[in-house]
């Protein structure tokens, strides 16, 4: 199986997933194309660019700078700000202040150092540690190990470990942008899952990693941090499901043509030389499930949207419309049903009747307007 995935990717190391990417895996679980590409560790961003549909993502320097500065502020002086918040929110006892900077060791030792520290803390009910800054976690994704470098801190309270996620979006008068909170929760869930895996490997009860994560954000318009507890059980469940699906990616891969590959055929300097049309064909061999929401989560979104347009898919119009159309796959089919130019297939009677009637009503109401040349 691993060989097959390696062949799909070509002779380059698999792309490591960061927490954001792993969290995004759960965004569109129905998409086989994404599942296969991610399982094989294909560089989707480069792939999308090579086929002429670069992803629309970019991060502003201002946002990055601001995020880094806020994180540094929260962690400053042995996490002095964070300590205040945890004492307020979780009633962390005064003696709990020990701070371990895992990055005091070299990069290649960080994962084992993290393991050792967490193991010691899990065995010892004394004061083996409270904060673990810059930990390095590992998570197995479809046979490949991805290392996660959270900007988070794991901390221990009463024998349970919590993940702290530091985000620089503001909480104003007790309210934060729900979209951003949801994204933070998905990311934090990835870290909780990785921490649980680690505890399991070490022979401890994985549930000692709490599903309650601490979200730290600036309050109002100042930089004073404020903390809230976030329950990520739902996100964990979605994530586990999707990772399990990816582990079963064999079924998907087995149905693909034997010679299929997404190899970019990079030259010595890493520039892709594979003919773009050929690569696009290869992508087309795995079914995608495009939805407009992909545009905030997947590098291939413009490619898939273009494909959806080419076949006139109703997915283009968003989930509301697709749900309303009850499974009619293409725009032309739906219009043909509405205009009576096509006999409804089995199970389409109801939607055909609805569309036809909707068409009649529109005609009736717009009759007068058409004359005015209404748009």
Partner 1 sequence: MDALERRIDELRAEVRRAVRVRDAALARALRAELRRAERDWDATVSEEALDTPATVPGDVLDASGPAPDAASAAFRAALGGPATVPAHALGTASIGSGQVPGALLPGETAGALRSGVASPSAGASGSSESASGSSESASGSGGLLSSSSRRAGGQAYGGRRRSGGAERAEGGSRAGLVPVREQVHQALAMLGAPAAGRMIVAVHEAFFAGGLRAGRMTSLRRDEERSFRAAPYARPYYLCAALTERLSPARGLYAVSTWPLDRRIVTPLSPRVDFLTAARRVAERIQLLTGRGEEPSAAAVRLLARMARNIPGAMPGDVLPPDPADVIRAAAAELEVHLPADAAGRASAARRAARQLADVECLFGAATLSDAARKGA
Partner 2 sequence: MSALAALARLRAVREGRAQRLTTVRHCHVSDRPMVFVPFQLAGEAAAPLAAMVGTDPGSPRLLVVPQPRDRDLRFAFAAELAEVVLPYVEGFGKVTETVERRNADPYERCLDAPQLVLPNRQGVAFTGLLGRSTRFRRPDGPFPVHPSVPVLGRWLTFFAERASYPGSSLTLAATDALAMHWASGQSDLEDANLAALMGWIDPPPGRTGLQAAEEAEDPLLWPPAGPATDPGFDNEVLAPAIEAYAEAPTAAAVERIRQAVRSQAEPAWRLTWRALELLRALPAGGSVAQRWDYDRGAFTDFLTRTAEGAPPQARRDGAVSAAARLARMERARASFDAQRAYDDPLVMAEYRLTGEAFAGNVVATEPEHTEGEGRSRKLRPLVTVATADPVRLAPGTTLGTPDRRGQEAEVVEVEGGTVTIKITKGMGRGKTPAPGAVPEVGERVCYTSVTDDFQAAAALPEPEMTPWTHGGPPPEYVPTDEDAGEEWS
Q: Is 223 in the site for partner 1 (CB under 8 A)?
A: yes
Report the nearest approach of partner 2 to the CB of residue 181 (Å). Answer: 15
Residue numbers 328-367 binding partner 2 by CB under 8 A: 331-332, 334-335, 338, 354-355, 357-359, 361-362, 364-366
Q: Which of 3, 61, 108, 251 binds partner 2 (CB under 8 A)?
A: 61
265 binds, among partner 2, partner 1, none (CB under 5 to 8 A by kind): none
78 vs 359 by CB, closer to partner 2: 359
- Those residues whose C-beta lies under 8 Å from the C-beta of residue 256, and which sit 6 or more positions away, are 8, 36, 285, 286
- Which range of residues in 10-18, 104-112, 276-284, 292-300 is near partner 1 by CB under 8 A? 104-112
Q: Is 266 in the site for partner 2 (CB under 8 A)?
A: no
Per-residue contact string for residues 162-191; x = within reach of partner 2 by CB under 8 A: ------xxx-xxx-----------------
Per-residue contact string for residues 25-64; x = within reach of partner 1 by CB under 8 A: ------------------------x----x----------
* Cα–Cα distance for residue pair 38/267, rounded to 1 Å: 23
Which of 277, 160, 152 shows the shortest CA–CA distance to 208?
A: 160
Q: Is 342 in the site for partner 1 (CB under 8 A)?
A: no
Report the nearest approach of partner 1 to the CB of residue 159 (Å). Answer: 18
Beta bridge partners of 330: 313
Which of 138, 139, 136 shows the shortest CA–CA distance to 149?
A: 136
Q: How far apart are the first and last CA of the chain?
A: 55
Burial 186-218 (b: 16+ CB within 10 A, else e): bbbbbbbbbbbbbbeeeebeeebbbbebbbbbb
156 vs 186 by CB, closer to partner 1: 156
Residue numbers 272-301 binding partner 2 by CB under 8 A: 292-293, 295
Per-residue contact string for residues 106-145; x = within reach of partner 2 by CB under 8 A: ----------------------------------------
φ, ψ for residue 133 (rounded to 5)?
A: -90, 150
φ, ψ for residue 374 (rounded to 5)?
A: -65, 150
**The pairing of beta strand 144-148 with beta strand 137-141:** antiparallel
- Which range of residues in 32-40, 119-127, 242-250, 306-314 is near partner 2 by CB under 8 A? 306-314
Report the SS3 class of residue 372.
Answer: helix
Burial class (CB in 10 A: 0-12, 13-18, 19+), 304: buried
Report the SS3 class of residue 166.
Answer: strand
Entry field: residues in the chain: 375
- Which range of residues in 28-36, 97-105, 107-115, 319-327 is near partner 2 by CB under 8 A? 319-327
Neighbours of 139 (CB within 10 A): 22
Q: Which residues bind partner 2 (CB under 8 A)?
A: 56, 58-67, 168-170, 172-174, 218, 220-224, 292-293, 295, 309, 312, 314, 316-318, 320-321, 323-325, 331-332, 334-335, 338, 354-355, 357-359, 361-362, 364-366, 368-369, 374-375
């Amino acid at each position: 199986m691993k060989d097959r995935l390696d062949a799909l990717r070509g002779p380059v190391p698999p792309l490591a997933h960061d927490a954001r990417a792993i969290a995004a895996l759960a965004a569109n679980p129905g998409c086989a194309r994404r599942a296969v590409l991610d399982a094989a560790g294909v560089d989707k961003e480069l792939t999308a660019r090579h086929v002429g549909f670069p992803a629309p993502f970019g991060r502003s320097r201002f946002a990055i700078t601001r995020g880094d500065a806020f994180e540094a502020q929260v962690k400053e002086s042995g996490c002095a700000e964070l300590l205040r918040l945890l004492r307020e929110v979780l009633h962390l006892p005064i003696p709990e202040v020990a701070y371990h900077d895992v990055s005091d060791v070299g990069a290649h030792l960080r994962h084992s150092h993290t393991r050792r520290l967490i193991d010691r803390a899990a065995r010892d009910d004394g004061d083996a540690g409270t904060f673990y800054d810059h930990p390095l976690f590992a998570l197995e994704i479809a046979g490949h190990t991805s290392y996660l470098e959270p900007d988070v801190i794991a901390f221990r309270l009463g024998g349970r470990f919590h993940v702290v996620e530091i985000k620089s979006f503001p909480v104003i008068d007790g309210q934060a942008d729900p979209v951003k909170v949801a994204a933070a929760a998905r990311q934090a869930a990835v870290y909780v899952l990785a921490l649980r895996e680690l505890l399991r490997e070490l022979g401890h009860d994985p549930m000692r990693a709490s599903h309650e994560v601490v979200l730290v954000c600036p309050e109002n318009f100042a930089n004073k941090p404020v903390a809230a507890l976030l329950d990520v059980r739902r996100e964990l469940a979605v994530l586990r499901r999707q990772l399990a699906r990816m582990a079963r990616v064999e079924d998907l891969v087995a149905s693909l043509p034997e010679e299929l590959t997404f190899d970019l055929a990079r030259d010595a300097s890493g520039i892709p030389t594979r003919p773009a049309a050929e690569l696009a064909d290869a992508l087309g061999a795995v079914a995608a499930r495009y939805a407009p929401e992909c545009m905030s989560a997947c590098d291939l979104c413009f490619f898939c949207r273009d494909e959806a347009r080419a076949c006139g898919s109703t997915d283009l119009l968003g989930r509301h419309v697709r749900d309303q159309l009850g499974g009619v796959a293409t725009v032309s089919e739906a219009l043909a049903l509405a205009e009576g130019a096509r006999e409804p297939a089995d199970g389409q009677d109801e939607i055909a009747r609805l569309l036809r009637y909707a068409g009649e009503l529109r005609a009736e109401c717009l009759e007068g307007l058409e004359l005015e040349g209404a748009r």
